[in-house]
A and B are shown apart, each in its own frame.
Chain A
Amino acid sequence: MSQADTRLSPRFLLSELRLIAVRRRNQAGLAALAAVPVILAAAMKLTVPDAGRGPGQGPDFFSQITGNGYFVALAALGVELTLFLPIAVAMLAGDAVAGEANQGTLRYLLTVPVARTRLLAIKYAGILMGAFLAPLVVATSGLLAGFLLFGAGDVTTLSGTRIGLATALLRLLVICLYLGVCLAALGAVGLFLSTLTEQPMGATIALTMLTVASFVLGQIPQLDWLHPYLLTQHWRDFGELLREPVAWEALIPGLTSAGAYILVFLSAAWARFSGRDVTS
């Protein structure tokens, strides 16, 4: 064969990313994610909040918003982490394999041919793009809205000390990356669910329910033996990055848990998909 064996050609990956990016629904979803911090900031500007929510559930950034726009980004990430960000990832994961099966495009990709392992890798890459992009969009929109309405300045850490805005922005970037890893783990579970069905919405709803269930179970003290294994258990640990000095070791459980979820569920997705009869 004189045909070039372009093993590392990025064409298919770029095509996949483009497919996700041009879809109106995904654009609308991203806009919705970006709108939440704006609404939040506007609401805070219009009403002076009380002392904030009760203690216990992670750091509370609401009370600091009116002093520094920076905290709009953090508060928005905290709010969207429980439902909006997981739904965004669940949408992409649902489309990944079940969506292609539903439209009948899966059989045509496989007869091109695209090897099944390669297809899963490309699909997961698309989910990863969403998982890392979504928190960045929320944070960026939060910063813009916050700075505009409340101004910018040095940031008071959870330890009580103050750090410069530049350092604080860098930490926000790391927070977004950490949440990206958490959502990547969710995406791996979603990719597996997506190989089980030909109904993308089914996979999306299942993954969303799983996230909510995980959060709920995480709230029940009687189930504390279960908590370390829950997908969402360490997501709120991102607040540790606002301590001075940074409590890096506090992020290890979250990263380990995410790594384990990714490994297990990508393997499961591969095991399921590589031998599956494609009858759609």
Chain B
Amino acid sequence: MTDLAVASHGLTKRFGSQVAVNAVDLAVPRGAVYGFLGPNGSGKTTTIRMLLGLIAPTAGSHHLLGETMPDRAGHVLPRVGALVEGPGFHPYLSGRDNLRRLDAADRTATARTAEARIGDALDRVGLTAAAGKRYRTFSLGMKQRLAIAAALLKPRELLVLDEPTNGLDPQGTREVRTLVGALAAEGATVLLSTHLLAEVEQVCTHVGVMHRGTLVAQEPLADLRSDAAPRARVLTDQPAEAAQVLRTLGLTELAETASEASGQLGAVAPEKVVSDLVHAGVAVRGFTVEAPSLEDVFVHLTGRGFDVSG
């Protein structure tokens, strides 16, 4: 047994000459809520499809819950709940009947408890009242909730949720966030693919960032944020003068707007910046030191393609 819920080694997928996923080494610790980030088209969903055995990797291998995939899929997948690339259900069946069908397809599910488990899953996603309606009449948010319910038909050790909040209203987004937290508290590992960074900041313990098919970062969330350099922001009527002071002090990556100047602190002490500004006669209305938001880190990691080609 290993303490990784998801482990991949050199996982690669080529479609023709295009490399969709390039030698990805995922390491999702058991019990983690792992935020799987990346811009659209960065290879997140292709990776997830490979993890679940829907598509065969061109190279590499992976394990889920310590079992080799895809050889042991029949044993391990019943313990994995998955939401892959949006909901997919029969439009002319009701929500409840769609869940019944998925449960009937599961050899390891007990028929006797099916109705109770389906009821619980619907309840957890707040869909009990609408479950009798045909799926085709569902709104996008309801469809998404039903897909999450399908992943919760049984107690799972691992949940793979690809964009679970897609199409949900703010209330629904919040509920999903709470749900993910509750599932993690119950001991499940959650692999959460998303591009909503607010989600990640609030629920994730670990982060992996995909960019153009490559996993460019993978660490505990706290480490990822502390790696990033803090910035000093000066609110002032004289941004040009303020920027000059910052430059003299050795701050880098300076930026100026009509009402502020900012720069990366590096080794410079914030106190020193304030006193120098005052000495230079710059009217300071406000001064803050900010750890970069996850968004800044994310753009820094995935936006560098522009820098290179620029």
Q: Which residues of A contact B (CB under 8 A)?
A: 1, 3-7, 9, 11-12, 14-15, 19, 22-24, 103-115, 275, 277-279
Contact = CB atoms under 8 A, between A and B. Distances in A.
Contacts of B87: 104
Contacts of B150: 108
B174 interface: no
A198 B270 CA distance: 60
Most B CB atoms within 10 A — which of A11, A103, A113? A113
B52 interface: yes
Contacts of A7: 107
Nearest to B75: A1
B190 to A, nearest CB: 16
Given A1-B108, A108-B102, 18 more contacts: A4-B108, A5-B108, A9-B107, A9-B111, A15-B105, A19-B101, A24-B92, A104-B88, A107-B54, A107-B84, A108-B88, A109-B105, A112-B77, A112-B105, A113-B74, A275-B56, A277-B56, A278-B49
A278 B55 CA distance: 6
Interface residues of B, number: 35
B281 interface: no
A115 B72 CA distance: 11
B108 A103 contact: no
A12 B102 CA distance: 9
B19 to A, nearest CB: 15
Interface in B81-107: 82, 84-93, 100-102, 104-107
18 contacts: A7-B107, A12-B107, A19-B93, A19-B101, A22-B93, A104-B86, A104-B88, A107-B84, A108-B150, A109-B102, A110-B52, A113-B74, A113-B77, A114-B105, A115-B73, A277-B55, A278-B49, A278-B55
B105 A12 contact: yes
B53 interface: yes
Nearest to A105: B88
Contacts of B56: 275, 277
B88 A103 contact: yes
Given A15-B101, A108-B88, A6 B107 contact: yes
Contacts of A24: 92
Given A111-B80, A113-B53, A105 B100 contact: no
A3 B53 CA distance: 22
Contacts of B100: 15
A107 B88 contact: yes
B92 A22 contact: yes
A279 B20 CA distance: 13
B66 interface: no
B78 A113 contact: yes
B40 interface: no
Nearest to A119: B105
A110 B50 CA distance: 12
Nearest to B77: A113
Contact of A110 (B53, B90, B104, B111): B53
Nearest to B135: A103
A111 B87 CA distance: 13
B111 A11 contact: yes
B90 A19 contact: yes
A125 B92 CA distance: 21
B252 interface: no
Contacts of A107: 49, 54, 84-85, 88
B110 interface: yes
Contacts of B105: 11-12, 15, 109, 112, 114
Contacts of A115: 73-74
A105 B89 contact: yes
A88 B133 CA distance: 28
Nearest to A23: B92
Nearest to A11: B104
Contacts of B92: 22-24
Contacts of A103: 88-91
